[in-house]
């Protein structure tokens, strides 16, 4: 494993739920259909982007959440809302990202994101 891969794996272990990071550490498993997608995300997202120190993980998480809200990528948001908290974002900051998204990505996208955030953060024990 190269240095960037090691850095990416360390970040993923910190920011993702333990069961997700453990699955990533095992490598590809499950159905073979589109099985290279995880490796592509490591090569094209986590290694080059998340290991770059220009933006800290908290900022990168807030940007990622905002983009995912605009894309209405609810499955990814389920992972990235708790990851943002693990990366140092606060609940108040995530609320503000949702509010900001309502003005630029539309109210329906922000409303859906709110519902996903509530469910994901409650599951992760991060919402009282």
Q: Is the pLDDT of residue 21 over 80?
A: no
pTM (2 d.p.): 0.92
Confidence band (pLDDT; 50, 70, 90) for 22?
confident
Q: Is the pLDDT of residue 27 over 80?
A: no
Per-residue pLDDT, 28? 67
Q: What does the mean pLDDT of the chain come to?
A: 93
pLDDT digits (tens, 9 = 90+) for 80-97: 999 999 999 999 999 999
Domain made up of 56-128: CATH architecture: Up-down Bundle (1.20)
Domain boundaries, the chain: 1-54, 56-128
HEC string for the chain:
CCHHHHHHHHHHHHHCCHHHHHHHHHCCCCCCCCCCHHHHHHHHHHHHHHCCCCCCHHHHHHHHHHHHHHHCCHHHHHHHHHHHHHCCCCHHHHHHHHHHHHHHCCHHHHHHHHHHHHHHHHHCCCCC
């Amino acid at each position: 494993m190269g240095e960037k891969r090691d850095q990416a794996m360390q970040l993923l272990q910190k920011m993702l739920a333990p069961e997700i990071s453990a699955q990533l550490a095992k490598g590809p498993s499950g159905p073979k259909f589109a099985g290279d997608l995880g490796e592509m995300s490591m090569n094209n997202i986590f290694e080059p982007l998340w290991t770059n120190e220009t933006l800290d993980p908290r900022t990168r998480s807030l940007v990622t959440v905002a983009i995912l809200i605009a894309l209405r990528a609810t499955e990814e948001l389920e992972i990235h809302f708790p990851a943002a908290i693990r990366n140092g974002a606060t609940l108040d900051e995530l609320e503000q990202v949702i509010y900001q998204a309502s003005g630029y990505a539309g109210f329906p996208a922000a409303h859906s994101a709110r519902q996903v955030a509530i469910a994901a953060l409650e599951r992760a024990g991060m919402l009282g």
